[in-house]
Chains A and B, each alone.
Chain A
Amino acid sequence: MPIPQEDRWDWEIRPQTGWWGTSLTDLWTYRHLAVGLVRRDFLLIYQQTILGPLWVLLQPLLTLITYVVVFGKVVGISTGDTPPVLFYLAGIVLWNLFNDTFTSISSTFRDNAQLFSKVYFPRLIIPLARLSGYLFHFGIQFGLLVLMLAYYFLFQSLPVPNGQWLLLVPVAILLVSTISLSLGLLFSVLTAKYRDMTYLVGMGVRLLMFLTPVIYPVSYVAEKWRWMVQLNPLTPLFELFRRALLGHGVVSLLTLGYSFAFTMVLLLVALLIFNKQGDKLIDIL
C-alpha cells in the first residue's frame, strides 16, 4: 500500500505564524552563523582604530574616572565601606552589559532589514549573537574588575569575599543578560513597527540607570523612597553582584525571588511575541 503523498511533506508554509516559532534544532543548525556573526562584529568594531580592542577597557575606565570625580567627590554620594573605585567599576561593568545588549538587540529588525528580506534563517540568531558578543566584552571588563579587586585585597586589606557568595555572581550576570535579551526582543518588534519607540529606547535606558543602583547603593536611598528603586527588577541583581564581590549590598530572598520571577515571565512573553511577529515584520520593514 503506498502511503498517501500528503502525509510525507517535510515542511509547510501557511499565512499564520506560530507562537513558538523556530525549534531548538533549527537554532542549533545555525549555531555557526551565530559564532560567525559575533566574530564579524568584533573584527568590524575595531578595524581601522588605533587602540583596537583596548577600547573595551578604555570605555569603562574613563567612565569610572568621571563617576569617581563627579558622584564621589563633587556630589559626594557615600559608597559606605566600599572603596568608590571598586563600587563604581562593578556598577559600570554590569550596567554596560545591560545597556549595550538591550540597545543593540532592540534594533535587530531595523539593522538587518536588508539581510532579512533576502534570506531565511531563524531570526533569533541575531539577538543571540549580539548577546554573546556583549557577554564577551563583559568578560574582558570583568577581568579588569577582578584585577582591581585583587589589588585592593592584596595592598589595601579589603576583606576577601566569602566563597558561597561568589557562587551567586554568575546568577546575577545570567539574570541581567536574560532581562536585557528579553527587553531587547520586545523592543525590536516595537521599534520595527513604530518608529517612535526608537527614541523611547534611547531615553528610557538613560532614565532607567537612575532607578538602578549604578551610581549609588540602595542603602543610600531614604527608606521612604526605596520602593521606587526596588520595583526595578535590576536592582536586586546589582546589589547581589556587589554583595558577592565587595561584601556590601542590600539583598533579600524576597527581592531576588521577585527579580527571578519577573525575568522568567518577561523572557517567555518576549520569546512568544518575537516569534509570532518576527515573520510578519519583514513585510513592513
Chain B
Amino acid sequence: MGKVVIQVEELSKVYRLGTIGTGYLLHDLQRWWTTTVRKQEDPFFQLPGTQASPEPGQALWALQNINFEVKQGEVWGIIGNNGAGKSTLLKIISRIIRPSMGRIRGKGKVNSLLEVGTGFHPELSGRENIYLSGYILGMSKAEIRAKFDEIAAFSGVEKFLDTPVKRYSSGMYVRLAFAVAAHLEPDILIVDEVLAVGDAEFQKKCLGKMRDVAQSEGRTILFVSHSMQAINNLCDKGLWLHQGKVKATGSAASVVNDYLTSAQRVQLKQSWTDPEHAPGNENVRLQSVELVPHLLTPDSPLDVRTPLTVKFQFWNLLAGETSLSMGLHLYTYGGELVFDRPTSDRLCRPGLIQAECTIPGNFLNDGSYYISFVITRNTSVDLFRYEECLSFDVADYRGDYNYYGKWVGVVRPNFPFELKPAEAGIGHYQSLSS
C-alpha cells in the first residue's frame, strides 16, 4: 500500500438546532453588532471548546473529532446507523459543505457520487443527459465524447438515447445515470449508498466495475453502504461511525462484525422474581421470557442462519386442573404477523409452567422482529396477552450469493431449489432444432 492520499484531522461538524443562520435579518444584524462591533460572545451560538459549550439541545454534533488516513488504492467502507454522520463526512470530503473544525488534506482529483442521476433532467433525452451529468460530475467534453459509446453500452439503453428520460422506466434511468458515473476517472471516488437502487444484475455490474477500478487502476474509494455484504466483498478497510464519532476502524470484515453484533437492538430476556409485580392477572403471572440464539461463536452476530429458542415460564394461579395452551406470535417490526404457533392443550395444576419453541436457522429474513404471546384456557378463552415481550434483529448473511439489494419477503427459508438439465428436455430440444 502506497502513500496517504486523504488525511482527516480532528474533523467536526456542528449544526445549530432550530433555524440555522437564524433566518431573520434582524437576528443576524444583532449578532454582527454584538460579536464584531462590541467583541462579545455570540448571543445565539458559541463554538464549543472556546468558552462555554453550547447547552445540550442547542447544537447537534454531526461529526465529532474524526481522524483517519486513507492510503492510495484502498477501498474504505463506511458504516453506521442512520444519522451517524456518514453522509456528512462524505459531503465534507466532496467539498459540498464545510467542516466546523479540523481539516482534510488530500492528493489527486476527487469525484463524488452521492446520488444516482445528479443533474439529470427528465425532459431531456438520454444523450443530452449523459453530457450534462458528465459535465456536472466534472468530466470534460472530450472525455465524454471518447467514452460515449462505452457509457451507452454499459447502460444498456442504447436504443432509447434520443427519448426524454422521463419516459424511461426507473430501472433504465438508474442504469443510465450510473453508467455515466461509472466512467469517471478520478483518483479518489466517493460513493454514497447508490446500490440500493437497480436490479440484481445491474448491481453486480456496478460492484464489479467498482472493484475493477479499485484493483486494476489503483483508485481509492470511500464507500457508504447499508449492505454489509457489499462492504465485505468490496472493501479492505472499514470505518464505523456512531453518533458522529469513530467507533472503530480496521479491516472491513472485523468492523462489519463488530457493527452487526452491537447494532442489534434487542430485548432478549425479561424476568421477574416477585410474582406480585410481574405482568399478568389473577389467572397467570409471568416469571420469565427469554430468547436464546444459538450462535456459532459467542461474538458472532445473530444472522439469518442462527437458530433461535424462545423460552417462557409463568405461574399458573388457577385452582384445580385447568386446560391451558399458549400461542406464540412472531411479528416483523412493521407489525406484519409472520406466524402464529399454538401449543396443544394440557391439563395444568397451579405452579410454574414452562414452554419452549425453536425457530430454525435459515428461516427468517434479515430485519427486526418481535414476539407476542397469549395464554388461553380451553383453547378459546384468552387469559393473558403480552405484546412485544421480546424483540430482536436478524442480520444479513448471503454467503456466495452476489445480490446486494434488499432481500424481499418476510421469511427467507432455505428450501432445496436448484437448476439442472432435465434429461428428457435435452432430447426434446435437439429434436426441435434438428
* Option from A29, A40, A196, A284 in Cβ contact (under 8 Å) with B20: A284
**CB of B417 closer than 8 Å to a CB of A:** no
Which residues of chain B are within 8 angstroms of A36 by Cβ–Cβ distance? 131-132, 135
B136 near A283 (CB under 8 angstroms)? no
**CB of A10 closer than 8 Å to a CB of B:** yes
Please judge, given known A-B contacts A193-B21, A196-B25, whether A13 and B104 are in contact too, CB under 8 Å.
yes
**CB of A12 closer than 8 Å to a CB of B:** yes
Please judge, given known A-B contacts A29-B138, A32-B135, A43-B128, whether A282 and B94 are in contact too, CB under 8 Å.
no
Give the contacts of A188-203 with B (CB-CB under 8 A). 193-196
B136 near A119 (CB under 8 angstroms)? yes
B119 near A119 (CB under 8 angstroms)? yes
Which residue of chain A lies nearest to B19 when distances are taken between CB atoms in the complex? A284
Please judge, given known A-B contacts A5-B3, A44-B121, whether A282 and B96 are in contact too, CB under 8 Å.
yes
**CB of B100 closer than 8 Å to a CB of A:** yes
Please judge, given known A-B contacts A5-B3, A115-B118, A118-B115, whether A194 and B24 are in contact too, CB under 8 Å.
yes
A interface footprint on B107-129 (CB within 8 Å = 1, 0 otherwise) = 11010101100110101100010
* Option from B21, B91, B136 in Cβ contact (under 8 Å) with A33: B136
Which residues of chain B are within 8 angstroms of A8 by Cβ–Cβ distance? 107
**CB of B196 closer than 8 Å to a CB of A:** no
Which residues of chain A are within 8 angstroms of B105 by Cβ–Cβ distance? 6, 9, 11-13
* Option from A30, A47, A194 in Cβ contact (under 8 Å) with B135: A30
Please judge, given known A-B contacts A12-B105, A30-B138, A193-B28, whether A119 and B94 are in contact too, CB under 8 Å.
yes
Which residues of chain B are within 8 angstroms of A162 by Cβ–Cβ distance? none
* Option from B104, B114, B138 in Cβ contact (under 8 Å) with A118: B114
A116 near B96 (CB under 8 angstroms)? yes
A194 near B140 (CB under 8 angstroms)? no
**CB of B137 closer than 8 Å to a CB of A:** yes
CB distance from B420 to the nearest CB of A (A): 47
**CB of A225 closer than 8 Å to a CB of B:** no
How far, in whole Å, are A193 and B91 apart by their CA atoms in the complex?
21
Q: What band does the interface of chain A fall in when counting residues whose beta carbon is under 8 Å from B?
A: 35 or more
A40 near B98 (CB under 8 angstroms)? no
**CB of A73 closer than 8 Å to a CB of B:** no
Number of A-B contacts (CB under 8 A): 110
B23 near A118 (CB under 8 angstroms)? no
**CB of A15 closer than 8 Å to a CB of B:** yes
CB distance from A46 to the nearest CB of B (A): 11
A15 near B128 (CB under 8 angstroms)? no
How far, in whole Å, are A282 and B110 apart by their CA atoms in the complex?
19
B123 near A44 (CB under 8 angstroms)? yes
* Option from A37, A115, A194 in Cβ contact (under 8 Å) with B25: A194
Please judge, given known A-B contacts A32-B140, A33-B135, A119-B112, whether A13 and B98 are in contact too, CB under 8 Å.
yes
* Option from A37, A43, A121, A283 in Cβ contact (under 8 Å) with B97: A283
Which residues of chain A are within 8 angstroms of B4 by Cβ–Cβ distance? 5
**CB of A66 closer than 8 Å to a CB of B:** no
Which residues of chain A are within 8 angstroms of B25 by Cβ–Cβ distance? 193-194, 196
CB distance from A216 to the nearest CB of B (A): 34
How far, in whole Å, are A6 and B107 apart by their CA atoms in the complex?
11
**CB of B141 closer than 8 Å to a CB of A:** yes
Which of A30, A40, A44 counts the most chain B CB atoms within 10 A?
A: A40
B103 near A12 (CB under 8 angstroms)? yes
How far, in whole Å, are A9 and B110 apart by their CA atoms in the complex?
13
A interface footprint on B180-201 (CB within 8 Å = 1, 0 otherwise) = 0000000000000000000000
Which residues of chain B are within 8 angstroms of A9 by Cβ–Cβ distance? 7, 105-107
Please judge, given known A-B contacts A33-B136, A115-B119, whether A11 and B106 are in contact too, CB under 8 Å.
yes
**CB of B328 closer than 8 Å to a CB of A:** no
**CB of B99 closer than 8 Å to a CB of A:** yes
CB distance from B81 to the nearest CB of A (A): 21
Please judge, given known A-B contacts A115-B118, A118-B118, A284-B21, whether A15 and B98 are in contact too, CB under 8 Å.
yes
How far, in whole Å, are A210 and B115 apart by their CA atoms in the complex?
46
**CB of A17 closer than 8 Å to a CB of B:** yes
A14 near B103 (CB under 8 angstroms)? yes
Which residue of chain B lies nearest to A11 when distances are taken between CB atoms in the complex? B106
A119 near B132 (CB under 8 angstroms)? no
CB distance from B213 to the nearest CB of A (A): 19
A120 near B23 (CB under 8 angstroms)? no
CB distance from B222 to the nearest CB of A (A): 14
How far, in whole Å, are A47 and B24 apart by their CA atoms in the complex?
39
Which residues of chain B are within 8 angstroms of A13 by Cβ–Cβ distance? 92-93, 95, 98-99, 103-105
B interface footprint on A1-34 (CB within 8 Å = 1, 0 otherwise) = 0000110111111111100000000000110110
A10 near B106 (CB under 8 angstroms)? yes
**CB of B353 closer than 8 Å to a CB of A:** no
Which residues of chain B are within 8 angstroms of A120 by Cβ–Cβ distance? 94-96, 112
**CB of B15 closer than 8 Å to a CB of A:** yes
**CB of A59 closer than 8 Å to a CB of B:** no
CB distance from B236 to the nearest CB of A (A): 21
B121 near A40 (CB under 8 angstroms)? yes
How far, in whole Å, are A8 and B114 apart by their CA atoms in the complex?
27
How far, in whole Å, are A11 and B3 apart by their CA atoms in the complex?
15
CB distance from A203 to the nearest CB of B (A): 16
How far, in whole Å, are A12 and B25 apart by their CA atoms in the complex?
32
B99 near A119 (CB under 8 angstroms)? no
Which of B108, B115, B128, B136 counts the most chain A CB atoms within 10 A?
A: B136
How far, in whole Å, are A16 and B135 apart by their CA atoms in the complex?
27
Which residues of chain A are within 8 angstroms of B119 by Cβ–Cβ distance? 115, 119
Which residues of chain A are within 8 angstroms of B108 by Cβ–Cβ distance? 10
**CB of B355 closer than 8 Å to a CB of A:** no
CB distance from B184 to the nearest CB of A (A): 11
How far, in whole Å, are A193 and B27 apart by their CA atoms in the complex?
12
Which residue of chain B lies nearest to A13 when distances are taken between CB atoms in the complex? B104
Which residue of chain B lies nearest to A280 when distances are taken between CB atoms in the complex? B98
Which residues of chain B are within 8 angstroms of A194 by Cβ–Cβ distance? 23-25, 28
* Option from A44, A119, A279 in Cβ contact (under 8 Å) with B98: A279
* Option from A12, A29, A30, A116 in Cβ contact (under 8 Å) with B104: A12
- Please name 6 further chain A to chain B contacts, defined as beta carbons within 8 Å, in addition to the given A43-B128, A120-B112, A194-B28, sorted by A numbering: A16-B98, A30-B135, A43-B124, A115-B118, A115-B136, A194-B24
Q: Which 8 A-B pairs have the closest CB atoms?
A: A33-B135, A9-B105, A120-B95, A284-B21, A13-B104, A32-B141, A36-B135, A118-B115
13 A-B residue pairings within 8 Å (CB atoms) = A10-B107, A12-B106, A14-B99, A15-B100, A29-B138, A32-B141, A44-B123, A119-B94, A121-B136, A193-B28, A194-B28, A280-B98, A282-B97
Show the binding face of A for B, using Cβ within 8 Å.
5-6, 8-17, 29-30, 32-33, 36-37, 39-40, 43-44, 47, 115-121, 193-196, 279-280, 282-284
